[in-house]
Amino acid sequence: MHDKTLAELGRGLADKQFSAEELTRALLARIERLDPQLNSFISVTGELALSQAKAADARRAAGESGALLGLPIAHKDLFCTQGIRTSCGSKMLDNFKAPYDASVVARLAAAGTVTLGKTNMDEFAMGSGNESSYYGPVKNPWNPAHVPGGSSGGSAAAVAARLLPAATGTDTGGSIRQPAALTNLTGLKPTYGRVSRWGMIAYASSLDQGGPLARTAEDCALLLQGMAGFDDKDSTSVDQPVPDYRASLNDSLEGLRIGLPKEYFGAGLDPRIADRVMAAVEELKKLGASVKEISLPNMQHAIPAYYVIAPAEASSNLSRFDGVRFGYRCENPSNLEDLYKRSRGEGFGAEVKRRIMVGAYALSAGYYDAYYLQAQKIRRLIKNDFIAAFKDVDLILGPTTPNPAWKIGAKGDDPVAAYLEDIYTITANLAGLPGISMPGGFVDGLPVGVQLLAPYFQEARLLNVAHRYQQVSDWHQQTPAGY
């Protein structure tokens, strides 16, 4: 059963080939056996999963037939789950049990999904390799010496290793798409505001967005259907109807106009990845698409703008973790100042401290205009570049990452080198656009991804193109050795 996609499992449940409880027990056993070598889970919720599976079976027996009913998933460990540890990969929240469910968790639970556990992640979603977690790095199932990407690396590794068919992730600067690319998965970052952020512990509030990680575009469509929609508890949620994402999966690509930004194919891109991307372009052309070169002239400023805006918002969001109300608290503080300093100093890891310091500096009275305000102006220019480009093309295509997965620890002494791995993904977050990464082949036995970006709320188009590509390619069907 572990070899089946989410959609295939749904059909198996509908046809009574197996029950949700049987499926859940099989996957829990697989997680117990294989996850110790990956470290992809922080918490495995066996009792909850079995109770949800039995409830799903009862609902099916009563005549229900929901598309997600009885299907097993896991949540990135920054989605609040009532009564279950929600750690954000940090010592700061190691003892925190959320008193409520995040909207995404509640919606998927109402649809009948079975929660197998909470997946490992970079601490407070800050990282590109899933190396900054308090619970240790996640291993890439394609090569355990290499990172799976971050910050949703636990979700990606678990799905890639067939421990479960799909999982939720979050994307602040590429944290769904980048690990999808590095583990041979399909990962979708929806339009900002399409998926509720309520109950999703914030890193950078104007950039964060939840989305699905799965093996196929069809599975991502299935999971997004249950996640998306307006939420009056989230002030950034957009009140716009949610289409049937699976209805248009097989639409023709005839006449589709694809733009290739010349800035994506310059220095810094592994030429072997460029070859894989262009091979995907040729397949899409055979399916009826046309291709033209475009320009995104302000892309060169994306990394510095992002690494001012995101840490600035993080420094504000993480100020709530002070040792007073919840989370880690230092022992025997001598006074309030000592409580604050030691609780934060002991509770946060090195990468989180680095970004808090950068953000606080950028927001300080003497430097706000010089750094934060200028970064926001660049953000607007990047958005304008996309608006102009989408007047001439329907989608923008390129590599998801400039390199394949690097070895664990290889970039530990050079955080900027890790930041540069996000060069192709962060612009979508700065502009609020939807993007998808789909498997595009392998380099040195490691997966690489092809990224597609679309205008606002065009997730259905992204899923359609990725699905049609996956009908004529088999990269997404490849499985890591031993799994």
Torsional class of 101: left (φ above 0), alpha (ψ -120 to 50), beta (otherwise):
beta
| 377 tagged catalytic | no
User: Could you give the residue ranges of the DSSP H alpha helices within 323-366?
Assistant: 336-347, 350-363
DSSP 167-215: EEEE-SSSTTHHHHHHHT-EEEEPPTTSB--TTB--SSTTT--EEEEES
Smallest CA-to-CA distance from 253 within 293, 283, 215, 220 is with: 283
Q: Whole-angstrom Cα distance, residue 232 to residue 472? A: 41
Tokens representing 17 are 């080939």
Name residue, tokens 């420094």. Answer: 315
For residues 123 and 133, is the Cβ–Cβ distance under 8 A? yes
Catalytic residue among 19, 43, 76, 437: 76
In which order are the strands placed within the sheet that holds 114-119?
41-44, 114-119, 72-76, 166-170, 210-214, 186-189, 435-443, 446-453, 395-399, 257-261, 290-294
Catalytic residue among 132, 175, 237, 343: 175
| 43 tagged catalytic | no
Tokens representing 391 are 């007047």
Strands (E), 49-202: 72-76, 114-119, 166-170, 186-189
For residues 228 and 195, is the Cβ–Cβ distance under 8 A? yes
Name residue, tokens 């355990």. Answer: 144
Q: Whole-angstrom Cα distance, residue 412 to residue 431? A: 29
Q: Whole-angstrom Cα distance, residue 76 to residue 120? A: 7
| 175 tagged catalytic | yes
Q: Whole-angstrom Cα distance, residue 345 to residue 354? A: 11
Active site residues: 76, 151, 175
